[in-house]
Structure 1
Amino acid sequence: MNASADNAKPSLDALIGRLSALHQKRIDLGLERMHRLLERLGHPERKLPPVIHIAGTNGKGSTLAYLRATLEAAGLRVHAYTSPYLVRINECFRLGRVGGGALVGDDELRAALEEVERVNAGEAATVFELKTAAAFLLFAQNPADVVLLEVGLGGRLDSTNVIDAPAACVITPVSMDHMDFLGDTLTSIAAEKAAIIKRGVPVICAEQTGEAMAVIEAQAKRMRAPLFAANESWHVNVEHGRLVYSDERGLMDLAAPRLFGRHQFDNAGLAIATLRAVPSFRINHAAFEAGIVGAEWPARMQRITTGALLPWGPQGSEIWLDGGHNAEGGRVAAAALGDLEERVSRPLVVIAGMMANKDALGFLANFAGLTRHIIAVPIPDTENAMPVDRLADAARSLGMRVEPAPGIEAALRALAKLAYEVPPRILITGSLYLAGHVLAINGTPPA
């Protein structure tokens, strides 16, 4: 790292700390503060190129990654706003450039946040609201062709839900998560997500449960928004390891996604359907292929192939990292592990750390048929992490053998002392906060 970056980072961290003190709650859903802040900034959200707004429970980031890679392969400049970040706050803001975008630099991000801080004038606002306002400011100041905007939490009252006429609204699979904010039924959660739908704007929807789909269909009808739903308007199949996409305009035979897991075929299909649903996006076959193959999204069934972790674990072992943290996230990760097991059989060990408000039993149950060995670890430097003994109790109730460890390094070194006929496959999972910690100590932060 160069000297200027070294000097900039502490002041950026200090600024984030200052902004965090403006509101006693980390999450406080509502749009009144956001509208007031954007008005003071001169409404940068009204000065953006076409916006694709993405809500859902799982798969938002991966779908956005396919959209970005495909649009960039078509020669377009793409701004992207995502959350949460894994290692550095800069990851939330990607600025479009000719030839491919880049994370915002420290100086540019600090300037945008300081401007937001100035106009906010010390009033109560959550960090997410201030970050989102800074994103709109950055995106309005830098020319681009498309903005990809990921919902932070829910949709209806999320700070991103201030775009009056996006080019498209995308809804990824909806499942149970964040029940303390969004309600404790699938119907209520789906209603929060579907509230991003705008009048007359195309809605592209992943495969859903019957309950969630009924809510989304009703909202689309209410808003007179054309609905393009998976398995109705468009279809994705896996044939001979390739992605075969079809809709009323025809069929595309594409290479398999670079991101691992059967669910990534569905996420890639959702991205394709989105770009084909908006007439102004003219994407050719070559760009779709390049985007599907080239998309990157860290901590989603990511194989760790370099860095500090490898020497700590058993020699010859595979180390995988996945930020899944709810029952559905556990299901798709377990399915991906099942595919790996069919290809090359190895004993599986799961190293897990979770947040206190997550359903540990529902998450870990997905792995009960794949492994009996769980190592429970804390999540360092994180408020509201689940105590290791509580996580261990959940695993034991599923009949799993559980060992606590004080951290990732200790867990891997303990595994290295065991005798294996075949080097194990190790999955580190349970939280994006844990995934960020792993990437940081491994020396491989997202770029």
Structure 2
Amino acid sequence: MTISETMDYIQSFQKSGKPVHDLSRIHALLDALGNPQDSLRVVHIAGTNGKGSVLAFCAAAASAAGFRVGTLTSPFIRHYTDRIQINGQDIPMETLCTLCEQVQQCPVSEDCSQFEITFAIALLWFVQEKCDLVFLETGIGGLLDATNVVKHPLVCVITSVSYDHMAILGNTLTQIAAQKAGIIKPGCPVVLSPDNPLDVTCLVQETAQRKHAALITPAMEDCQIMSETLEETVFQYHCFTYTLHMPGRHQVYNALTAIEVIRLLGMHGYLISAAVTQQAFEKVQVPARTQVLQKEPLVLLDGGHNQAGVLALTDLIQHAGRKPVHGICGMMQNKDYQTACGILRQTLDTVICVDDFTEHAVAAETLAECFGDHKQVQTAPLKQAYAAALQQAKADGGMVVVCGSLYLASAVLQEETTPEDQPVL
């Protein structure tokens, strides 16, 4: 298959596919491919926020320790292939085309999703390349997510659980948490992020007990944050000092979760020293997660789109201490954009709403209305909005924050970095 044929084939499937009530669809596809997932040693990660960051911390440490590490993340940020990597390197387009052809030759249901096709391709590549360890991030939920075909993960991870995808996962935190906890397997240890509310923690505890799975939550009493700036966060945990270059208190919780996962992997023979972990964590920077695009004037890019994600962003903005704050905001129609705007309006001094970054964006005028009587709200195309906000920040010494959607963040990053041979969906 050529690159265009490959991307046309992948795009012929809907992003979410037909609704699922069990895992029979993905099982049928993987059965036809020889069940590659059964040949891999997997860490399975679910959660609302923090999945990508926890995965990045874990994978960086394992790679630095000399292991061949495969990762599957969702969604892609700069281009399609960046969601499938080995040791931080994207799957080559030539390989993607070859493996996609292998998938196409199977009796694939037209009801499959793009994620299921991508997942199958990733598994084939990880087996082909003899990965020592694979980190899989769920797409949506956990219980009915395609990645939940993995029978015996080494470790299960549940990151921060918040309100998102409620039409699919449920309207309460416990309903959402039950879907995330669906990845827990009998006897498999589970690491739970320490920043979860009590009802989520209790639900995960009950699920783990029922499945005789050890539950590990990082001990916050053993964590001391030494310093926090936009450039770095330094904290101590169990007498070791770690430095992060991903800003925000939430990244400390993600790092603590990753440290506990790394400790458990040691029991399976994946020995990763504290020194290696410390060095690896310093280098981790996940695109579009409170990413500093430039320092003067300060420009922050963040893909957080649910209540917890937006609250983490506003907390970071307040700690940055730069005023005024010029926001560029764009959100998706299937998200709770009203709540997000209600939170952001307390922090942003000016707002430009945009909708030209994807076809499913909330209309800029509708988004502007969500900011209510905010005095400085306007609408504009993304490029124009970015130029205007940057000019304002240069003039008044403020900062620019681009936020509201990973699709918006992706559009900004693609403008800067997408190579010609990397197609985007």
Q: Give the aligned partner of residue 439 of structure 1.
A: 413
Q: Give the aligned partner of residue 353 of structure 2.
A: 376
Q: Give the aligned partner of residue 312 of structure 1.
A: none
User: How much does 1:270 deviate?
Assistant: 0.6
d(CA) in 2 for partners of 1:55 and 1:28?
19
Letter in 1 for 2:142: G
Q: 1:225 to 1:10 in 2, by over 3 A?
A: same
Letter in 2 for 1:13: M
Q: 1:413 to 1:226 in 2, by over 3 A?
A: same
Q: 1:283 to 1:415 in 2, by over 3 A?
A: closer
Q: Does 1:209 align with 2:203?
A: no
**Cα pair 1:236 1:244 within 8 Å, conserved:** yes
How big is each residue's C-alpha offset from its partner over 1:256-308, in whole Å with a ceiling of 9 and x where there is no partner?
211111111111111001111231232212111112101121011111139xx
d(CA) in 2 for partners of 1:351 and 1:213?
35
Q: Does 1:430 align with 2:404?
A: yes
Q: Give the aligned partner of residue 308 of structure 2.
A: 328
Q: Give the aligned partner of residue 34 of structure 1.
A: 26
Q: 1:228 to 1:12 in 2, by over 3 A?
A: same
Q: Give the aligned partner of residue 372 of structure 2.
A: 396
Letter in 2 for 1:391: L
Q: Give the aligned partner of residue 118 of structure 2.
A: 131
Q: Give the aligned partner of residue 112 of structure 1.
A: 99
Q: Give the aligned partner of residue 45 of structure 1.
A: 37
Determine which of 58, 62, 80 is the counterpart of 1:67.
58
User: How much does 1:442 deviate?
Assistant: 2.2
Q: Does 1:244 align with 2:221?
A: no
User: How much does 1:160 deviate?
Assistant: 0.2
Q: Give the aligned partner of residue 338 of structure 1.
A: 318
**Cα pair 2:329 2:353 within 8 Å, conserved:** yes
User: How much does 1:416 deviate?
Assistant: 5.3
d(CA) in 2 for partners of 1:294 and 1:86?
19
Query: Is the partner of 2:371 in helix, strand or coil?
Result: helix
Q: 1:420 to 1:72 in 2, by over 3 A?
A: closer
Question: What are structure 1's unaligned runs of at least 5 residues?
Answer: 1-6, 307-315
Q: Give the aligned partner of residue 10 of structure 2.
A: 16
d(CA) in 2 for partners of 1:411 and 1:367?
17
Of all paired residues, the percent bearing the same amino acid is 33
Q: Give the aligned partner of residue 154 of structure 1.
A: 141
Q: Give the aligned partner of residue 187 of structure 1.
A: 174
Q: Does 1:277 align with 2:253?
A: no
Q: 1:41 to 1:205 in 2, by over 3 A?
A: same
Query: What TM-score does the superposition give when structure 1 sets the normalisation length?
Result: 0.87
Query: Is the partner of 1:201 in helix, strand or coil?
Result: coil
Q: 1:290 to 1:419 in 2, by over 3 A?
A: closer
Query: Is the partner of 1:339 in helix, strand or coil?
Result: helix
Q: Give the aligned partner of residue 209 of structure 2.
A: 221
User: How much does 1:402 deviate?
Assistant: 1.0
How big is each residue's C-alpha offset from its partner over 1:40-61, in whole Å with a ceiling of 9 and x where there is no partner?
111111111x211000000000
Query: Is the partner of 2:301 in helix, strand or coil?
Result: strand
Q: Give the aligned partner of residue 354 of structure 1.
A: 331
Query: Is the partner of 2:224 in helix, strand or coil?
Result: strand
Question: What are structure 2's unaligned runs of at least 5 residues?
Answer: 229-233
Q: Give the aligned partner of residue 387 of structure 2.
A: 413
**Cα pair 1:236 1:265 within 8 Å, conserved:** no
d(CA) in 1 for partners of 2:371 and 2:96?
42
d(CA) in 2 for partners of 1:257 and 1:24?
33
Letter in 2 for 1:181: I
User: How much does 1:418 deviate?
Assistant: 4.7
How big is each residue's C-alpha offset from its partner over 1:138-194, in whole Å with a ceiling of 9 and x where there is no partner?
111111211000000000000000111100000000000000100111110000000
d(CA) in 1 for partners of 2:156 and 2:329?
34
d(CA) in 2 for partners of 1:217 and 1:26?
32
User: How much does 1:419 deviate?
Assistant: 8.3
d(CA) in 2 for partners of 1:419 and 1:15?
44
Moved more, 146-155 or 207-216: 207-216
d(CA) in 1 for partners of 2:84 and 2:417?
21
d(CA) in 2 for partners of 1:213 and 1:56?
12
Determine which of 152, 162, 178 is the counterpart of 2:165.
178
**Cα pair 1:69 1:290 within 8 Å, conserved:** no
Q: Give the aligned partner of residue 198 of structure 1.
A: 185
**Cα pair 1:68 1:291 within 8 Å, conserved:** no
Query: What TM-score does the superposition give when structure 2 sets the normalisation length?
Result: 0.91
**Cα pair 1:372 1:401 within 8 Å, conserved:** yes
Query: Is the partner of 1:412 in helix, strand or coil?
Result: helix
Q: Give the aligned partner of residue 311 of structure 1.
A: none
**Cα pair 2:393 2:400 within 8 Å, conserved:** no
Query: Is the partner of 1:357 in helix, strand or coil?
Result: coil
**Cα pair 1:94 1:102 within 8 Å, conserved:** yes
Query: Is the partner of 1:371 in helix, strand or coil?
Result: coil
Q: 1:419 to 1:436 in 2, by over 3 A?
A: closer
User: How much does 1:73 deviate?
Assistant: 1.4
Letter in 2 for 1:432: L
Q: How many residues align?
A: 411
How big is each residue's C-alpha offset from its partner over 1:354-375, in whole Å with a ceiling of 9 and x where there is no partner?
0012112321233333223111
Q: 1:327 to 1:83 in 2, by over 3 A?
A: same
